[in-house]
Structure 1
């Protein structure tokens, strides 16, 4: 009889974990509280428009391809993607704008021509990002930080000698001010802190690892949209014999003699040889692990920022916009002070607009666009979100109108809204935080839950709220780390 693994949650990490365990020979059952797989990586369809509901940036596609290779499948048979020639379009209130070309030399030339920043500064910054990645990725992204072997292997020993160059002892903003002359370039590279819900004026400069992924490796787009990452891996999992049970909310992980033995759904007890939790770590301990020892230090860590997203069907096209677009705030420092300290969105927010219809025209009616319009906001701490949403919408529209010299409100044909309350409701993310605990101090990497329980045998963890962190690549890597820990 094969060994039985139960996975709680079918977020992208849960699906990846199910594939990896099935390939290892486990009989895998996945229990999901929602009626669909994917967690945050889902979609919305309304009035002829399709929106990718959650993560909108695709990097490190090899983490997806690896799952197909493990299963002996050909990736293009399930999933296809293309590399973007331009990673993002950036706009400022004074009329400045640049295209972040995928080709580094082209991007450097663009920055020098449009912003007067010496192009060698771009090359140096991206080489520094590569250096951080080469030294930290093997340690922090691909291995458990909670095993002694990680710290005694040759990769770790080499990195110890480079700590001063890896940005651990300065903030992202401090490092970027040393790298660039133009404040707009500092702001652009500070933006990468938002990729894991952090504050560039507090988070360590080690997060300057992120530009390497976007520029030196590349940004990509799944040909059927981001939701196809979920759907293709879901199909692969089913082909490996994984069984999914939707609308099945787990009530408890049952532990006997210090070992996870089963899960309980209402009155039904389902035995297991091992249990994998893909639910947000904080809410898992509050609910399905409430009877077990609580890791209070981890549970009490400050949470990452959240998001307020307006999904707008726009009855017009804007040729100056592409897949990824950023309209920057004029006062980035004040914006982050509001998000992380005043717990309110800033009146002049940085606006991100993702438009998949630029790559996949059938995501919007002809002559229209599907705008995923987002600002970073604090996580839910009881704010008056109805008031916040109304004020934020007004500020977002005014900003778009100023920069694009248009009147966008009459063009909005349909609207859906996602805020921290609904993020928590739909995904069980504590306080609606997108990335679990924040990374606003140099020890943040060590303040994430391990991919295993040190107190309960045969209980494992994966997903954005545990090591190595949030975002599609790190969630997929959490499943890989977790599976490799299982003997």
Structure 2
């Protein structure tokens, strides 16, 4: 008797789509991955420059084991496909008063650095914060981030065993409030409060549990030789090696529905691809907005999509930098965080922005001789329409501000090098420019993200807009959750 091979269409070649396609192909499915653009990566995109393709999306790679696991599931090693460069110096932090702080993967070195920066008592407070972050991470890793569905009972049991983390879990305990309990120096509160922006929130409204992000970084940060977009290319090659058919320049017009199930997709050119299952690796908000037809409009509840997380203005360019000893990851802090996040909450450009700079070509510790690649990120509000004055205003608030720190670029990039919130809205339909999906504001926000299984049978979600959330490894884990759920569903239907 001939065995029927399940057919799966994956929509979108971002981290979640690639991870799910690879695992489904390994499970014996016939997988077709369709991508609207001409390259894989989704938000992990790159723009051309005189120094080569420059990243215009994520720049920080943590939790390397997530990607080792993808390659090992195919009997291969990540290091045979990609060169990852460990970054012992996690980031260099700058303030306009001339103070700087380097943080590394070495706890004792960090305690000494913080003590030299802000005094011995703050060094010891940092040690206690490090321990709190590590305990939060341990409590939430398996039952939350690695689980297909948040296991609130397991989280509660872990919390009961660790009374030291209870303050971070109290109702109304924002990240900013927690950090005020942990540190006296406002610069340290500002530094670790910035972790809220990693998932698209502000420290004044995001829950204190986000302090665990420090523990994830302290475990190790890697750079991808050649740029983060190389990770997407390596995963796409691995997918094709496993038998996945990838079709680029193939935007999807509709997700088809038949007999109450997702039954495939119709491409923008009119061709249809029929399937037993469809994995949507895009912003779930696009489904609710009807951008993929009426069939999946009710697949995800609105309260799992709205309100939206932050957007950004992102510069990607090549230039010569002078004036400051940049490392791979650099953060130039605003004088007053309230003048950054207050305007953002009102839908405006920050008046006093914190600027993150990735000096892409310094990952190996060398300073290039000639133009090098840079990405600068300034947080911004979602849903902001394009305005004629935005470019000049953003350019001034970025490069005039950096000049105050003594850092200059030659040449200063032009409008083609800037992706504003409205640009992200156009690149990722339905997103309103939000980079991270559902806003993390509120104590229960992390429990509300949509799971892989949707209300429409046969339609599954993967990507940063689904559980477990934003970030490169989180998006890849969402792909694993979707693939495992489909395999379980196939086995159940077979029985």
Secondary structure in 2 aligned to 1:206?
helix
- 2-side partners of 1:351 and 1:14: how far apart? 30
**Equivalenced residues, count:** 476
| Change beyond 3 A, Cα 1:206–1:316 | closer
1:307 to 283, 307, 312: 312
Counterpart among 394, 398, 401 of residue 400 in structure 2: 398
CA distance in 1, matches of 2:185, 2:453: 45
* In 2, Cα distance between equivalents of 1:376 and 1:235: 33
2:130 corresponds to: 126
Pairing of 1:159-308 with structure 2 (within 5 A): 159=159, 164-169=166-171, 170-215=173-218, 217-265=219-267, 266-286=269-289, 287-294=291-298, 295-298=300-303, 301-308=306-313
Structure 1 residue 373: Cα displacement: 1.5
SS at match of 1:34: coil
Rate the CA distance shift 1:400–1:319 in 2: closer, same or farther, 3 A: closer
Per the alignment, residue 332 of structure 2 pairs with 327
Q: Does 2:355 correspond to 1:344?
A: no
State which of 76, 79, 83 in structure 2 corresponds to 1:80.
Answer: 83
* 1:137-169 superposed Cα distances (whole Å, 9 cap, x missing partner): 2122112337xxx445x5654346667344352
Match of 2:432 in 1: 431
Deviation at 1:191, TM superposition (A): 0.6
Distance in 1 separating the partners of 2:320 and 2:463: 37
Distance 1:438 1:244, change over 3 A: same
Paired residues of 1:280 and 1:465 also in contact (CA < 8 A)? yes
Give me the whole-angstrom Cα distance separating, in 2, the residues matched to 1:435 and 1:413: 26
Q: Residue 493 of structure 2 aligns with which residue? A: none
TM (norm. structure 1) is 0.92
Q: Partner of 2:48: helix, strand, or coil?
A: strand
Determine the C-alpha separation between the residues in 1 that align with 2:322 and 2:364. 14
Instruction: Tell me: CA distance 1:29–1:156, structure 2 relative to 1, closer, same or farther (3 Å).
Output: farther
RMSD between superposed Cα atoms in Å: 2.2
d(CA) in 1 for partners of 2:170, 2:430: 28
For the residue of structure 2 that corresponds to 1:140, the secondary structure is helix
- Counterpart selection for 1:136 from 123, 133, 140: 140
CA distance in 1, matches of 2:104, 2:365: 22
Correspondence for 2:492: none
Kindly indicate whether the alpha-carbon contact (under 8 Å) linking 1:325 and 1:353 is maintained by their aligned counterparts in 2: yes
Which of 113, 116, 122 pairs up with 1:113? Answer: 116
Match of 2:54 in 1: 51
TM superposition shift of 1:208: 0.7
Query: How far has the Cα of 1:267 moved from its partner?
Result: 3.1
Structure 2 unaligned spans of 5+:
489-495
Q: CA deviation at 1:386?
A: 3.1
CA gap of 1:155–1:94, structure 2 versus 1, over 3 A, is: closer
SS in structure 2 at match of 1:175: helix
Indicate conservation of the 8 Å contact 2:425/2:431, yes or no. Answer: yes
Give the TM-score, by structure 2 length: 0.91
1:472 aligns with 2:477: no
Residue 403 of structure 1: how far off its partner (Å): 0.9
Cα deviation code 1:371-394 (max 9, x no counterpart): 212200111233x43312311211
The residue matched to 2:435 in structure 1 has which SS? coil
C-alpha distance in 1 between matches for 2:228 and 2:34: 23
Contact 2:321 2:410 in 1 (8 A): no
How far apart in 2 are the matches of 1:391 and 1:438?
26
Where do residues 378-417 of structure 1 align in structure 2 (5 Å cutoff)? 378-382=381-385, 384-404=386-406, 406=407, 408=408, 410-412=410-412, 416-417=417-418
Aligned to 2:380: 377
1:252 deviation in Å? 1.3
* Structure 1 residue 312: Cα displacement: 3.2
Tell me if structure 2 keeps the 8 A contact 1:201–1:333.
Answer: no
Quick check: 2:50–2:371 contact (8 Å CA) kept in 1?
Answer: no
